[in-house]
Structure 1
Amino acid sequence: MTDTAKKKAKGISRRSLLKTASAAAGLAAGSGVITGFPTIWAQNPITLRQFGTGVSNLNAIAQKCKEDLGITLEMAATDSDAAAQRAVTQPNSYDIADVEYWIAKKVYPAGVLQPMDVKKLKYFDKIVPLFINGKLAPESVVAQGTAPHTVGFVESQDAKSFATEPTEWMTMVPTIYNADTLGIRPDLVGRQITTWADLMDPAYKGKTSILNIPSIGIMDAAMIMEAMGELKYADKGNMTTDEIDKTIDFLIKAKQEGQFRAFWKSFDESVNLMASGEVVIQSMWSPAVAAVRSKGIPCVYQPLKEGYRAWGGGLGLAAHLKGAQLDAAYEYINWYLSGWVGAYLNRQGYYSAAMETAKQHMSADEWGFWVEGKPAQGDILAPDGKVMEKAGAVRDGGSFEERMGKVACWNSVMDEDRYMVRRWNEFIAA
């Protein structure tokens, strides 16, 4: 076989992939497969069991899904490590896995998920390119770590290893992502915060925190160490054992010297630490910052000169799904990307994987504030109707392009993951 023939057999261009997917979606829509869900599933009741982190396993999504599709979603929320474990060890306990891409790198090779046929994904061509080729724009540099596109495709329906380019088979359909940074109490830090290194400022001894999820916490630690000039990693997302040792030894020393107040695992823990003032600078998630502000307490999601640590999640299909349940799962996923859910997630400070459809479900002012980085013309409301930001406010970090365009690394699973986790646990126990 010639090199050209091999290339054609192996890969598929994004343009041809989109044409094929769009054509198939159009045929499906015309045949009634994509529309008319409530009638279909109300007559043939379907329940889908979904589990994942609390970030996107939200009751409002289940309720809206029932209204729009007639499909019952049973949701269970766990932390990231528990989600990874359940996906592999209890594959018959769920139908939909709502997990991050670094978890997919651990889980997919175990054969517990089945790939998705791109031709059945109505909104494939609306998915932001970060999940297709790793770039926000053609000139963008692919960030370090487990970038979603590197574990987003497989070569065939039966493949267990990841493809190096887009194919007709996706491991998961992307749904949610964000660029994470440090949260600060501007009324308590006493100065301008500009770098990840500021978390280790002796002035904040006993008033800092990082999150205790090894695969994520180690990335924040790497951002801090590089910012301090302590270590330059070849790839923060795939450290050598020597780099892991230097990072963990640094953290243990800082802990023993009293730099950290606590280590958090849950959203609520991070909110309570910051709202109470026990911590003034810490690893944080965007909606947690908003939750602190909703209490009338100053809190800023601080842009830093070294950039952001990003994460992304998606929906995966359990390997056991077939027949009507599999059909319903595809209907659910197409609905998920059709706009309502994306707008709901955008309003929480996350980003939708299909921004174009989400925009149709947001007001111009909401879109301007959350996505374009414009000052709010009126009060910005949370999904529950509470005022999240007052008129005139500007989103921390600015626009979608400004924030996601400055991603330095993605949450990751390293080749030396087991060694890293063991050393991380030594740090927590020290």
Structure 2
Amino acid sequence: MSKSSKFDRRISRRTVLKGAAGAVGLAAGSGAITGFPYVRSADAKVLRYLGTAVNEGDEISKKCLADTGIKIEYITATTDDVTKRVITQPNSFDVLDTEYFSLKKLVPSGNIFALDAKKIKEFDNITPVFTKGQLPNGKKIGDQGTAPWKVLYLEGANSKTFSKTPTEFVTLIPTVYNADTLGIRPDLIKRPISSWTELLNPEFKGKASILNIPSIGIMDAAMVVEASGQHTYADKGNMTKAEIDLTMKIMTEAKKAGQFRAFWKDFNESVNLMASGETVIQSMWSPAVTKVRSMGIACTFQPLKEGYRSWASGFCVSKAVSGPKLDWAYEFVNWYLSGWAGAYLNRQGYYSAVLSTAKANMTADEWGYWMEGKAAVGDIKAPDGTILEKAGATRDGGSYDERMGAVACWNAVMDENDYMVRKWNEFIAA
């Protein structure tokens, strides 16, 4: 046996594979060989995104990955469970998508990290709805409840105290907001609906529903009570114990009389109730109305004379996030405000925090329909491409200025929150 043959025997399988891999790598790098699966590198950019399903979507995460290389891993929970997770498991997420009313619970925990406004490219272009409590045209809007401008800033990077004046330390970078009202099935009701009082109208006994998220449901209940003339609140978002008792007494009496078909907690429940016709009038969110319409079922997000209950949400990060992951979080937030995501959410009936970038990513007809109250020139489509409205249709409630200008209150956490939650749960159990 020759010396060379002895050497050949010592060539291991590992050596052969290593050499082959190198050859393939060279060929693949040259473009000569294709079709090999992508292998994620150890330093791939991944962010765990905690939030409700409202602002999440596969199309958003796919577009983000394509544009930035950041992979979004959604962690979906109900509004209350999101808050609980932030307080008890701050290491279980990276980016938090939550509402401003939750901040009164979250900030004292010290588990969220204030973002630096100077690192947000579009911060100065964020609508004054968030920063000043007014429309771009200067009109002041309702401030009852936890209005976003009341809790937008902290006194310092690690502060647990809200600042009454602007600072660079932002609790939540604004993303989306809306003016909520009642959803109705006009094909089944067959008459005009113009007041929050209709939610308790015996005409709809067994066909009504209210959302079972205490901090939000109590606001809808207050809109009903005040509209009926039974009480006028100094601040629906910060009731006294006596006001909570009165509100829950009225709602409990209606429940015992059989007024409510169900109490929904999430988006899909509300869609199913309305689409099936089990309910004909209920608390609702704009994208749920959009979803029902995309199914070819008549559903109206009904403007009411007493005004809207509004909400707003934004992004922050866990206190555990640092280093490259914090850089990715800033990159993600900046991408989110750059326009594509804002336009996507606008097509569900939301409003983007940065109107100019969303507008740049929508057609003139889309912008006219969703934002300006204009009749659609062509068919209006949902984000998934299904037709929502035929040409000639106008948006429920009209223009951005008309809808946001009619905001009466904001989702809130009250000083008597614990008492309110206890009374709300008694109402649900009654």
On whether the aligned pair clears a TM of 0.5, the verdict is: yes
Kindly report which structure 2 residues correspond to 1:279-290, keeping only aligned pairs within 5 A, or say none.
279-290=279-290
Instruction: Using the TM superposition, give the Cα deviation of residue 105 of structure 1 relative to its aligned residue in structure 2, in angstroms.
Output: 2.1
Q: Which structure would you say has the larger Rg?
A: 2
Task: Say whether the 8 Å CA contact 1:42–1:71 is kept in structure 2.
Answer: no
Q: How many corresponding residue pairs?
A: 390
Which residue does 1:308 correspond to in 2? 308
The answer on whether the counterparts of 2:211 and 2:265 sit within 8 Å (CA) in structure 1 is: yes
Match of 1:394 in 2: 394
Tell me whether 1:126 sits opposite 2:125 in the alignment.
yes
Q: Distance in 2 between matches of 1:229 and 1:101?
A: 29
For residues 229 and 292 of structure 1, the distance between their equivalents in structure 2, rounded to whole angstroms, comes to 32
- The normalised TM-score by structure 2 is 0.89
In 2: Cα distance, 1:189 partner to 1:310 partner:
25
Query: CA 1:43–1:357 in 2, change beyond 3 Å: closer, same or farther?
Result: farther
Distance in 2 (CA, whole Å) between partners of 1:193 and 1:336 is: 37
Tell me if the contact between 1:187 and 1:298 (Cα under 8 Å) persists in the aligned partners.
yes
Q: What does residue range 197-236 of structure 1 map to in structure 2 within 5 Å?
A: 197-236=197-236
Aligned to 1:365: 365
TM-aligned CA deviation for residue 332 of structure 1: 0.9
| Runs (5+) with no aligned partner, structure 2 | 1-39
Does residue 320 of structure 2 align to residue 294 of structure 1? no
Give the C-alpha shift of residue 325 in structure 1: 0.9
1:113 matched residue in structure 2 = 112
The question of whether the paired residues in 2 share the 8 Å contact of 1:42 and 1:70 is answered with: no
8 Å CA contact 2:153, 2:163 repeated in 1: yes
TM normalised by structure 1 equals 0.89
Task: Output the aligned Cα RMSD.
Answer: 1.4
With 216-225 and 188-197 compared, the bigger mean Cα shift is at 188-197
Specify the alignment match of 2:185 in structure 1: 185
Offset at residue 261 of structure 1 (A): 1.2
Note the C-alpha offset of 1:42: 8.4
* Residues 30-179 of structure 1 mapped to structure 2, 5 A cutoff: 44-136=43-135, 137-179=137-179
Q: SS of the residue aligned with 1:122?
A: coil
Secondary structure at the aligned position of 1:161 is classed as: coil
Residue 43 of structure 1 and its aligned partner are, at CA, apart by 9.7
Q: What is the distance in 2 between the residues matched to 1:228 and 1:110? A: 39
Q: Which amino acid aligns with 1:376?
A: A
Name 1:36's counterpart in structure 2. none
Cα distance 1:142–1:195, how it changes in 2: closer, same or farther (>3 A)? closer
Aligned to 1:26: none
Aligned to 1:175, the other structure's residue is in SS state strand
- Residues 231-265 of structure 1: CA distance to partner in whole angstroms, max 9, x if unpaired? 11110000001100111111111101111111111
Q: In the alignment, residue 410 of structure 1 is paired with which amino acid?
A: W
Q: Secondary structure at the match of 1:131?
A: helix
Deviation of 1:141 after TM superposition, in Å, equals 3.8
What letter corresponds to residue 295 of structure 1 in structure 2? M
SS of residue paired to 2:373: coil
Q: Deviations over 1:38-61 (max 9, x none)?
A: xxx989522111110101122211
